[in-house]
Every structure is written in structure tokens, then in C-alpha cells.
A and B are shown apart, each in its own frame.
Chain A
Amino acid sequence: MLKYIIKRILMLIPVLLGVSIIVFLIMRVLSPDPAPIVLGQHATQQAVEAWRQANGLNDPIYLQYFHYLQGALTGDLGTSYYTKSPVTKEILARFPATIELAVVAIILASFFGILIGVISAVKKNSIFDNAGMFLALIGVSMPIFWLGILLIIFFSGYLHWLPSNGRINPLLEPIRVTGFYLVDSLVTGNMNSFKDALQHIILPASALAMYSMAIITRMTRSSMLDTLQQDYIRTARAKGIEEGRVIIRHALRNGLIPIITVIGLQLGSLLGGAVLTETVFSWPGIGAYTVACILKSDFPVVQGVVLLVATIFVLMNLLVDVIYGFLDPRIKYSKKEV
């Protein structure tokens, strides 16, 4: 198993190198010159030249990439053209907000997705099943950002129950321990902050969760329908085991593998969805920030973020494969399969 994991991690290196090349090419070869954008339209030719020189943009492209890679390997992703602060610092300041949002979203999506999926499968073709499947269909068909807008209109504008933007009331910001407000406020015992942070995260996390929930619901339903037809389920029922136990301990447990895959893959795609959700809810995370940086050609930040997100994405895929092994002992990671 360990050998398999190490091999897979080694295989990630070329993929990530490739990702860095793709992003580098898009941002530095295809994109327009950032100098006039950063310095403004009225910058003099000399100023533009000096700026390009200072940022290494006059070097040949392969040398620029080499310098970038050299820095990246030592944890230096360059400095932002605008704030002049290191990209790693810029990312670290915003990343916890995005991760917190994505984690809450995946918890919501998994809980409701599995719940609705199981009910739909057990009560197949009933009104619950139809309603669940309709919800799942709407979930994959609705733009995330529009759902966010609807939630704001209803829960903030109409009912005045929940805040429509931001992460927390600035006066209630907890002492920074992990950067995750929900965790930090709990750790420091600041319940007012916890409540406020929770109120702020509910709407954006729900909007972000909807698509993943729909996918998880569909997968759970079809996986459960498969397992519920197996002989061991009939055996369990014949033994007189209570139905709820048969469904959870016997059917769901065996049907979990494809569900786990989907959840793992969704966590990666949530980071993409965060781009839109964060924009709608003015969530101070990495997604909305990256869009802003792409639009103002802040190359170093964009490269850093995309590399980070891609790393998380491929690591999640690896994690899913490893979890398989634990869930289903029949899956062996032999040399051949690698």
C-alpha cells in the first residue's frame, strides 16, 4: 500500500509540472502585456521598460519559466504585481476562508445527498423518490451563482434571517489560530463569534453545496438500488434483522465506494465553484481574488493559485483511491495496477 501511495505521488510530479507549464503559457505567452495594465494607460515607455526589466519579463520565456520553477520548488511563488507582497502570503491569508466554505459545503452536500439518495432508493418510485430525483435534477441544472442570488433575495432581503455577504462581523473576528473562523471561535470559546460565523457561512455553503448534493444523491440512489438487490441483503432480512439496520449496516456500507469517489471528486470541483459563490457573497476567499487577479493580469498570484488548486485536486483523487483500499479489502494495489 505504502509503495503504491509513493508511486502515485511520484506520478503527480509530471502532471503538476504540466499544469504549471499550461498556466505559464496562457498567462505569459497568450495574455497581453501586463505592464500597461499594472502601471496604467498613461505610463511612459521608460517606466514600462523598467517595470518589465524589474519583473524579469524581458528574459526569454523558457528562462522566465525556469526562474519561476526554481522559486516554486523552494516555496517562493514570486510577489504580486500590485500588493508587492509574496504570493504565498497572499494565498495563505485567503485560503482558509475558501477551505472552510468548501468543507462546510461538502459536509452539507454529503449529508443531504446520502440521506435523500438512500430514501429515494428504499422508497423507489414513490413520491419521495420522485421529489428527490427532481431536486437532484434541478441541482445540476441551476447555475450556482443564481441559486446564491435567490438565497440572498429570500433569506436576507425578504426574511432578514441571514447576512448576505462577508465572512463575519468585523467586530466579532476571533483570535487567529487556524484561520478557520468556526474552529478558531470554538477553540477560544468565543460563542458569539461562532454564531456569527455560522450565520455568515450558511447561505454561501448551501449555494455551493447544491450541485455536489445533486450528484451525490444520484450516485447514492443508483448505488443503493444495486446493493439492495444483492443476495446478502435478502439473507440479512431473512435472519430477521431490523430494516433500518439492513439499510444502513448492510446496504449503505457496501454501496459507499462509488459514493466516496463522487464526494472526493466533488471536493476538487467545489474549489472551482467557489470562484462564483465567493463573487456572489463577497466571500473573502481565494476564488473571487483569483478572478480579480486574472482580470488585472497579476500573473504570479494566478500561477500560484492554479498550481495550489491543481495540487489539491490531484491529491484528493489519490486520497479517494487510497480510501478504496480501506473500504473494500478486495481492492489490492498490485504493481500491475499501478
Chain B
Amino acid sequence: MKVKNSSNWSESLVQAAEYVERPESQLKVMWETLRQNKAAVVGLIIIGLLVLIALTVWGSELMGKQILPYDPNYSDMSESFIPPNASHWFGTDQLGRDMFSRILAGTKISLFVGVAAVAISLTVGVILGAIAGYRGGKTDTFIMRLMDMMLAIPSILLAIAFMAALGKGLDKAIIAIGLVSIPEYARIVRGSILSVKENDFVQAAKVIGNRSSRIIYKHILPNVISVIVVRATLGISSAVLDTAALGFLGLGVQPPFAEWGDMLGRARGFIFTAPYTLIFPGIAITITVLAFNLLGDGLRDAIDPKSRIK
């Protein structure tokens, strides 16, 4: 009887605690605060536009329709290095391809790599961080020391080394960029879990005999989700930058596909003769990264109780 009572008590405690801190409410409060942050809303609008461009380009490719002003991969040497004008808004590159069309087409690749790389680092990082934080002890030490080792190597060097090992190409770039960011997520998730773990509702869930994986998934992760969302948003911006860096070094997406970093890398030789070929891809990268940074900063402020009170 006594045991049953205690179980009832724990059950209601878990429910009460979850009612107070249920994930929807956390994300909802985050959204409400975010809406009042002008910079973050601007970031969100830009991201919306970029996604729209990427989806339109992708959709038109799937349907075999030409929606861009020119075929981004069609080269005509007689048209090379035409400065920006009415018919080629951003000019043409060394192979006579329309820069405007290539930059629009590049949106798809950059966003795709950014999101896919973050998906990899997020999944692996959250799992490792959750195990380390929840289990503690030797498991924690082992995982976190491994993360420290990875963090001690500059991420761009590590990514290049992975690329050298795996080979060039879009899929490999995604894996390399995803792998090098794992430690950041693992650290954040571990830290958040350590702070949530000792809460009564987690203890209560433990007492009523829930499995560890269930406690992590159902009771702990929803409470650290906002921190993860912020990190992932900022993570996309660094993934876009890393993609561009690998592309610039000639390791990322291979020709003829349009990728902003690769466009910059290949136009480098014409820096004094056709500088405009180096201006627009850079603007595209900066705007994309800026948008995710604005949104990420806004989200971070939104989950910070101090700024919420303000």
C-alpha cells in the first residue's frame, strides 16, 4: 500500500513538473519573445526567402523546367567576363556562365549542406552528450575527453583532413563538416542535462522505474530543447561558412555544380581583371550566414530569462 502511494505521488509529481516545463510551453514562450525582436524577425524573413529560392530551384530541376534566367551550368566562352548589365545582372564568369543564375542555384546547395551537416552533428552530439551527462562517471570522462581532443584541433584543419581521407564531393563535405561540430553539441547537451538531471521530476521519473533512455527522451531532452535549437541555428551559419571554405579550397562540391565557395575559389585568378566575379558569391554567403546569426541570437535572447523580463 505504501509503495502504491509513493508511486501515485511520484506520478503526479512528474505530471505536475512536466506541466510546468512541458516542451510546447518552452518553445511557445521562445516564439512569443522572438516575435518582438526585430533583428531576429529580419533574419527569419531572409531565411524564408532563401528557403523559397532553394525549393523553387530544386522543384524546377526535378520537373526539368528552366525557371532561372539562364542555365546555371551552361557555359559559352564567347560570353565570358561580361560585367554586370541588364541581361546578366551579376555578369558572367570565366566560362561565360550567368552569375545571377549560379548564385540562385547555389542557395540550394548551401542550405542543404548546412542543414544536413547540422543534422549529423546534432544527432550524434545530442546522443553522446546525453549519455555522458546522464550516465556520468567513466562514460562521461571518456566521451568528454574524446570531445576535448577533437576541439583541440582547429575545425577547418580537421574538416580538410576528413575530406582528404574521404575524397572530394558534396556528400563528403557534409560528413566532414558534420563530424567536426559534434563536440560543441555534445558539450552543450551534457551541460544542460547535468543541470536538469537533479530536478525533482527526473528523480521522480527514476523512482517510478522508468528506463534511462525513456527518462532522457521524455523528461530531460524536452527541457533542454531550447538550448539545442539555438545552437543548431547558429550551427547552420557556421556550417554554411565551412562549406564555403572547403569549396574555396577546391574540396567541396565538384564542378559544374554552382557552390558559392567554389565559385570564389575558381574566380580567384581573375581578382584584378574581373573583380565582380568575386563580389556576388561572397555577398550571398554573408547574407545567408547573417540571417542565421540574427535568428540564432534572437532565439538565444528569447530563452534567456533575464532578457525575457526586459
Contacts and interface: CB of A to CB of B under 8 A. Distances in A.
21 contacts: A14-B145, A18-B145, A18-B148, A27-B165, A30-B166, A31-B165, A140-B289, A140-B293, A143-B248, A143-B285, A143-B286, A144-B245, A145-B245, A145-B248, A272-B157, A273-B154, A291-B249, A294-B161, A306-B153, A309-B153, A313-B153
Contacts of A187: none
B96 interface: no
A310 B152 contact: yes
Interface string A273-303: 1011001100000000011001101000010
- Taking residues whose C-beta sits less than 8 angstroms from the other chain, chain B's interface range is 35 or more
A57 interface: no
Interface in B108-143: none
Report the interface size class on chain A.
35 or more
B154 A157 contact: no
A308 to B, nearest CB: 11
Given A26-B162, A146-B286, A150-B282, A15 B157 contact: no
A221 to B, nearest CB: 13
Interface of B: 145-146, 148-150, 152-157, 160-162, 164-167, 237, 241, 244-245, 248-249, 251, 261, 264, 268, 271-272, 275, 278-279, 281-282, 285-286, 289-290, 293-294
Contacts of B167: 32
Contacts of B272: 153, 156-157
Contact of B237 (A22, A141, A313): A141
A306 B157 contact: yes
A38 interface: no
Given A30-B165, A275-B157, 18 more contacts: A19-B152, A23-B153, A30-B162, A137-B290, A141-B237, A142-B285, A143-B248, A149-B271, A150-B278, A150-B279, A152-B271, A153-B279, A269-B154, A276-B249, A290-B157, A295-B251, A310-B152, A313-B154
A275 B160 CA distance: 10
A271 interface: yes
B154 A15 contact: no
Contact of B290 (A14, A141, A276, A294): A141
Contact of A302 (B161, B249, B271): B161
Given A143-B241, A149-B278, A291 B160 contact: yes
A79 B93 CA distance: 42
A271 B154 contact: yes
Nearest to B161: A26
A294 B282 contact: no
Nearest to A17: B149
A15 B148 contact: yes
Contact of A138 (B278, B281, B286): B286
Nearest to A302: B161
B153 A153 contact: no
Interface string A308-321: 01100110000000
B71 to A, nearest CB: 26
B245 A143 contact: yes
> 7 tightest CB-CB pairs across the interface, nearest first?
A272-B154, A146-B282, A18-B149, A30-B165, A141-B290, A310-B152, A141-B289
A146 B262 CA distance: 12
Contacts of A310: 152-153
A275 B148 CA distance: 21
Contacts of B150: 22
Contacts of B237: 141
Contacts of B281: 146
A256 B35 CA distance: 33
A138 B283 CA distance: 11
Contact of B245 (A19, A276, A297): A276
A124 to B, nearest CB: 13
A143 B282 contact: yes
A302 B148 CA distance: 20
Q: Which of A14, A295, A305 has the most CB of B within 10 A?
A: A295
A18 B241 CA distance: 27
Contacts of B164: 27, 31, 294-295, 297
B248 to A, nearest CB: 5
Instruction: Name the residue in B157, B160, B165, B248 with the highest tally of chain A Cβ atoms < 10 Å from its Cβ.
Output: B157
A313 B152 contact: yes
A19 B248 CA distance: 26
Interface in A114-148: 137-138, 140-146
A148 B155 CA distance: 20
A141 B293 contact: yes
Given A30-B166, A140-B293, A157-B271, A275 B154 contact: yes
Nearest to B155: A272
Contacts of A31: 164-165
A23 to B, nearest CB: 7
Interface string A145-168: 110011011001100000010000
A277 to B, nearest CB: 11
